[in-house]
Amino acid sequence: MTDAAQPAFVLVRPQMGENIGAAARGMLNFGLDAMRLVAPRDGWPNPAARAMASGAGRVLDAAEVSDSTAEAVASCHFVLATTARPRGLTVPVYSPEAAMVEARDRIARGERVAVLFGPERAGLENADIARANAVVSVPVNPDYASLNLAQCVLLMAYEWRRATAEVVPHTVEMAGAVWADQAEVDALAAHYESRLEEAGFFFPPEKAESMKRNLRNLWSRMPLTRADAQILHGVLRQMVRWAGRGR
């Protein structure tokens, strides 16, 4: 992915190489690789960052290093600043989700977007936030609003992925199985009904039809695979054999 097709994640005066590496890993998890660093405290490159990146070293290799926030965002048209605390500035405030939707839409129009992340100790300073066009406020616990740098990067990267990729909200991992079709469910229902009939389960007689209907409805509500149906047939057959031996 090129810088033009994604927001640049700008780590402003990061203090620990480990957090830079963890941020790189989080970015790459969600398809981002445009990292910019502003005056990293321990210099650059940083061995601790590479050790923590765990396979995301290419993000670190391509990272742009600047001396100031102004230099890091000079080429951008729209800048977002992440902060958990009100700063006394008049500025639009986005949720992480809305921020990444806005970033997506602006990038689609050909704009370049950056997201600022502050240093671990105290976050972004007002001078950094004043350069941003909008603020991103994470809805954290107000009694404990401090987010780790890499956590914040991961959260924003995740929202970027949600905004730009098709995310399936729910699915079932079939592991090679196939769903039972209606004929197979009907056969299973008939098998159980016939054996239960023999066992005198449907009693009293006037309630038999509603009991059979409820039992059939039970099978319909169950998301059965073909293998499930075969197992349930086998269970019933074995129980019948066992019951026959006990007579």
- pLDDT value for 142: 82
Which residues, given as ranges, of the chain have pLDDT below 50? Answer: none
Q: How many Å apart are CA 92 and CA 45, to the nearest integer?
A: 35
> Rounded to 5 degrees, what angle do the CA atoms 166, 10, 48 make?
100
- pLDDT value for 163: 96
DSSP H or E segment with residue 146: none
Q: How many Å apart are CA 138 and CA 3, to the nearest integer?
A: 24
Task: For 40-86, write each residue's pLDDT tens digit.
Answer: 999 999 999 999 998 999 999 999 999 999 999 999 999 999 987 65
Place of tokens 């057959």: 237
Longest CA–CA span in the chain (Å) reads 89
- pLDDT value for 112: 96
- pLDDT value for 247: 55
- pLDDT value for 14: 95
Strand order in the sheet with 93-94: 64-66, 35-38, 8-12, 113-117, 78-82, 134-136, 93-94
Q: Which of 122, 42, 132 is nearest to 84 (CA)?
A: 122
- pLDDT value for 89: 82
Q: How many Å apart are CA 232 and CA 2, to the nearest integer?
A: 53
- The single-letter DSSP state of residue 61 is H
Please state, in angstroms and as integers, the Cα–Cα distance from residue 70 to each residue in 169, 192, 209, following that order.
39, 74, 78
- pLDDT value for 86: 59
Residues 233, 191: contact at Cβ < 8 Å?
Answer: yes
Please state which of the four CATH numbers 3.40.1280.10, 3.40.50.150, 3.30.420.10, 3.40.50.970 is assigned to the domain occupying 3-164: 3.40.1280.10
- pLDDT value for 87: 65
Residues 19, 148: contact at Cβ < 8 Å?
Answer: yes
Side chain identity at residue 26, one-letter code: G
- The single-letter DSSP state of residue 7 is P
Side chain identity at residue 109, one-letter code: R
- pLDDT value for 4: 65
